[in-house]
Amino acid sequence: MKERIILAIESSCDETAVAIMRGDKLLSNAVSTQISMHQKYGGVMPELASRLHTENIVYTLDTALKDANIKLEEVDTFAVTRGPGLIGALHVGLQAAKTLALLYNKPLIPVHHLAAHIYASEFVKPLVFPLLAIVVSGGNTEFVVMKKHLDFTTIGETRDDAIGECYDKIARVLNLGYPGGIPIDRLAKEGEATYKLPSPALTGYDFSFSGLKTHVINLVNNTKQRGEEINVPNLCASFQKVAIDAIIKKGLKAAQEYKVKQVVIAGGVSANSYLRSEVLAKFPKIGVDPAIPPLWCCTDQAAMIAKLASYLYDEKVFADYDLGVDPNWEIEDFREF
Ligand code: KG4
**pLDDT at position 3, please?**
94
Does any ligand 1 atom lie closer than 6 A to the CB of residue 170? no
Cis peptide bond prior to 84, omega within 30° of 0: yes
Q: Across residues 215-235, what is the average pLDDT?
A: 97
Count CB neighbours of 147 within 10 A.
Answer: 12
Q: Are residues 31 and 89 in the same domain?
A: yes
240 CA distance to ligand 1 middle (Å): 13
Res 240 pLDDT > 90: yes
Same domain, 288 and 302: no
Q: What is the percent of the chain where pLDDT is above 70?
A: 100
- Ligand 1 binding pocket includes 269 (Cβ within 6 Å): yes
What pLDDT, on a 0 to 100 scale, did the predictor assign at position 218?
98
Measured CA to CA, the distance from residue 292 to residue 6 in angstroms comes to 25
Report CA 206 to chain centroid distance, whole Å: 18
pLDDT, tens digit (0-9, with 9 covering 90-100), for 66-99:
999 999 999 999 999 999 999 999 999 999 999 9
**pLDDT for residue 40:** 82
120 lines ligand 1 (CB under 6 A): no
pLDDT in tens, 157-179: 999 999 999 999 999 999 999 89
Q: Which pTM value belongs to this model?
A: 0.95
User: For position 2, what pLDDT does the model report?
Assistant: 81
Residue numbers of the domain that contains 136: 126-292
Which tens digits make up the pLDDT trace of 12-37? 999 999 999 999 999 999 999 998 88
180 lines ligand 1 (CB under 6 A): yes
How many angstroms is it from 294 CA to the middle of ligand 1? 14
Q: Note whether 75 and 194 are same-domain residues.
A: no
100-131: per-residue pLDDT in tens?
999 999 999 999 999 999 999 999 999 999 99
Ligand 1 contact, 110 CB (< 6 A): no
Residues 174, 266, single domain; the answer is: yes
Same-domain pairing of 83 and 227: no
Q: Contact 64/19 with Cβ under 8 angstroms? A: yes
Helix/strand/coil (H/E/C) assignment for every residue in the chain: CCCCEEEEEECCCCEEEEEEEECCEEEEEEEEECHHHHHHHCCCCHHHHHHHHHHHHHHHHHHHHHHHCCCHHHCCEEEEEEECCCHHHHHHHHHHHHHHHHHHCCCEEEEEHHHHHHHHHHHCCCCCCCEEEEEECCCCEEEEEECCCCCCEEEEEECCCCHHHHHHHHHHHCCCCCCCHHHHHHHHCCCCCCCCCCCCECCCCCECCHHHHHHHHHHHHHHHHCCCCCCHHHHHHHHHHHHHHHHHHHHHHHHHHCCCCEEEEECHHHHCHHHHHHHHHHCHHHCCEEECCCHHHCCCCCHHHHHHHHHHHHCCCCECCCCCCCCCCCHHHCCCC
Question: Using an 8 Å Cβ cutoff, are 188 and 216 in contact?
Answer: no
Q: Based on the domain organization, do 78 and 150 belong to the same domain? A: no
Mean pLDDT for the chain overall: 96
Average pLDDT over residues 231-236: 98
Q: Whose CA is nearest to atom 22 of ligand 1?
A: 181
| pLDDT band with cut points at 50, 70 and 90 for residue 43 | confident
Which residue, by CA, sits nearest to atom 14 of ligand 1?
A: 181
Atom from ligand 1 closest to the CA of residue 44 = 7
Residues 33 and 95 in one domain: yes
Residues 131 and 246 in one domain: yes
70 shares its domain with 199: no
What total number of domains does the chain contain?
2
The number of the ligand 1 atom at minimal distance from the alpha carbon of 163 is 12
Same domain, 174 and 84: no
Q: In angstroms, rounded to a whole number, what is the distance separating the alpha carbons of residues 135 and 268?
A: 9
Residues 328 and 201 in one domain: no
Q: How far is ligand 1, taken at its centre, from the CA of residue 9, in Å?
A: 20
pLDDT in tens, 243-291: 999 999 999 999 999 999 999 999 999 999 999 999 999 999 999 999 9
Whether residue 75 is found in the same domain as residue 19: yes
Q: Is the N-terminal amide bond of 198 cis, ω within 30° of 0?
A: no
Q: For residue 258, how far is its CA from the centre of ligand 1 (angstroms)?
A: 27
Q: Distance from the CA of 165 to the center of ligand 1, in angstroms?
A: 8
Question: Domain with 55 in it: what CATH number?
Answer: 3.30.420.40
Is the CB–ligand 1 distance for residue 268 below 6 Å?
A: yes
Counting atoms of ligand 1 from 1, which one is nearest the CA of 273? 26
> Quick check: 1 pLDDT over 80?
no
Q: What percent of the chain has pLDDT over 90?
A: 95
Instruction: Give the separation between CA 274 and CA 325, rounded to whole angstroms.
Output: 35
User: Measured in angstroms, how far is the CA atom of residue 137 from the centroid of ligand 1?
Assistant: 5
Nearest CA to ligand 1 atom 5: 138
- pLDDT higher than threshold 90 for residue 198: yes
Instruction: Please tell me if the CB atom of residue 182 comes closer than 6 angstroms to any atom of ligand 1.
Output: yes
d(CA 8, CA 253): 36
Give the per-residue pLDDT at 41: 84
